[in-house]
Structure 1
Amino acid sequence: MLKQKKNIPPKKRTKKDISEKSIENNKSMVRITSGIGNLDKLIEGGIEKNSTNLLVGGSGSGKSIFGMQFLVEGLEKGEKCLYVTFEEKKGKFFRHMKRFGWDLEAYEKKGLFTFLEYTPVKVKTMLEEGGGTVESIIRKQKTSRMVIDSITSFALLFDKELAKREAALGLFNLIEKWEVTSILTLEGKPLTGTELNSRTLEFESDSIISLYFLRHKHLRKRFIEVLKMRGTNHSKEIYRFIIGNKGVTVANKPTENPLNK
């Protein structure tokens, strides 16, 4: 008599399984250059194409400049790029970026660059409608790079943690559907679960890069750390970076951990 085979449920994938699988597939991963001086050396040549990347840092840490520099890298190659902001005014932002030699108005006239002043409420509507204005721009212009600066204001619309998590998941799912390489900035410190539930963001984002702006004796210094990048054997050390005439440049050598001081 034949024995019946038992129905064995499929093994549930853990974060470790997903991470190991992504490392196996990293040879076939398509990467794009970040445009950030010396950063690509720390992340195996660049950021994964069509990935969603979280940039975390406090006020004045350089998040907006970092994000715009990432877009300029694409603009210089003829790519269509989109900057979505909840806080910046177009005229003021364009003037500030000129100090780095970035003529955003010229890119805009060429049809390469779109600056979209959005409100957190509109993003909420966008999630409800499944795309809205942002998706229309991306589809029409065939946008390849996008920055959303910042999702912190968006999080304030939700009082309950469950609603925040659902909104974060909805936003990440939309961005994945759009097939753009994106950077989302977040105000605050990573791994603390402040404005948005950090565990949701950490798990859903393809990478987390942290910018620190710390006081050391009588000066403030800037540091960068790649906390996570799927499918990438990235540097685990902390590096200093400066904001100069051409934007963000990461130091060639790592530094002592400033967080332990």
Structure 2
Amino acid sequence: MAIVRVPTGVPGLDPLLQGGLVRNSINLVAGGAGSGKTIFAMQFIVEGLKKGEPGIYITFEEKKKKFYEEMLEFGWDLKKLEKEGNFAFLEYTPEQVKNILMEGGGIVESIIEKIDARRIVIDSITSFSLLYEDELEKKEADLMLFELIDKWNCTAILTSQDESRDGHTISAAIEFEVDSITMLYHVKQKGERIRALEVLKMRGTKIPSKTLALDITTKGVVIDPKSVVNF
């Protein structure tokens, strides 16, 4: 049976992933501050809307008004998209998401059903994980979250704060459970900040073996598949 792909909407990337992310997969996008995680994730949602796939963006860190204003820089009128009924932006504290987990989906599940969401972003899983000091509790909470996402039948992107150059700060539990890990880098080299992307793993996909140049333009994140970056 052929694997169904979901385009990310990032120019230069989807052809390298055999067409995009695997449908209904859970995908981690990790990187440091300013690396482009949020733009990448929102671009994924916008691409879905263009293809008739409603989406939900759940954030613990962004304020709606400010976020909507910032996204206008890329030509994404989220207020308009929300009014059309195919997009929902949810501001939650990590504690509220903890309660949603305990309820087995709660209001998020209701909204997913209401708009028939096919794509979901959680920004970021780092904030959620900080709720749990005990490693076992943290692992159990992460597993509960992944089980919920599986139940929702959505293709998901989870963002994660990671300043490393190889993803070594990603917890073993998350690394094992997610279907793909993509690292976004914003590294200072010879007095200049360099942006790059590296796919560390993606189940069912032949991934590029090199770290590729990334740029943030007025249309969002763009990958140059011919430009290899060496740190």
* Equivalent residue, structure 2, for 1:192: 168
Give yes or no for contact 2:196–2:229 (8 Å, CA) kept in 1.
Answer: no
* Equivalent residue, structure 1, for 2:58: 84
Residues 216-260 of structure 1 deviation map (CA, whole Å, 9 limit, x = unaligned): 1121011100000000011111001000010000012141431xx
* Equivalent residue, structure 2, for 1:36: 10
* Equivalent residue, structure 2, for 1:108: 82
Once the two structures are TM-superposed, the CA of residue 170 in structure 1 deviates from its matched residue by: 0.8
Pairing 1:25-174 to 2, within 5 Å after superposition: 28-174=2-148
Give yes or no for contact 1:237–1:254 (8 Å, CA) kept in 2.
Answer: no
**2:175 is matched with which residue: 177, 183, 202?**
202
Q: Which amino acid aligns with 2:103?
A: E
* Equivalent residue, structure 1, for 2:230: 257
Q: Which moved more, 1:55-64 or 1:134-143?
A: 134-143
Q: Which amino acid aligns with 1:84?
A: I
Larger CA Rg, structure 1 vs 2 = 1
Q: Which moved more, 1:45-54 or 1:249-258?
A: 249-258
Q: What fraction of aligned residue pairs are identical, expressed as a percent?
A: 53
Residues 93-143 of structure 1 deviation map (CA, whole Å, 9 limit, x = unaligned): 000000111111111111011000011001111111111111111122110
**Structure 2 residue 224 is matched with structure 1 residue 224:** no
* Equivalent residue, structure 2, for 1:20: none
Give yes or no for contact 2:58–2:121 (8 Å, CA) kept in 1.
Answer: yes
Q: TM-score, normalised by structure 2?
A: 0.96
* Equivalent residue, structure 2, for 1:244: 217
Q: For 1:119 and 1:249, locate their aligned partners in 2 and report how far apart those are by CA, in whole Å.
A: 31
The number of equivalent residue pairs is 229
SS of residue in 1 equivalent to 2:74:
coil
Once the two structures are TM-superposed, the CA of residue 185 in structure 1 deviates from its matched residue by: 0.2
Once the two structures are TM-superposed, the CA of residue 60 in structure 1 deviates from its matched residue by: 0.7
Q: For 1:222 and 1:134, locate their aligned partners in 2 and report how far apart those are by CA, in whole Å.
A: 34
Q: For 1:191 and 1:34, locate their aligned partners in 2 and report how far apart those are by CA, in whole Å.
A: 21
SS of residue in 2 equivalent to 1:215:
strand
5+ residue gaps, structure 2, are: none
* Equivalent residue, structure 1, for 2:188: 215
SS of residue in 2 equivalent to 1:99:
helix
* Equivalent residue, structure 2, for 1:24: none
Structure 1 vs Structure 2 CA RMSD:
1.2
Once the two structures are TM-superposed, the CA of residue 50 in structure 1 deviates from its matched residue by: 0.7
Give yes or no for contact 2:13–2:225 (8 Å, CA) kept in 1.
Answer: no
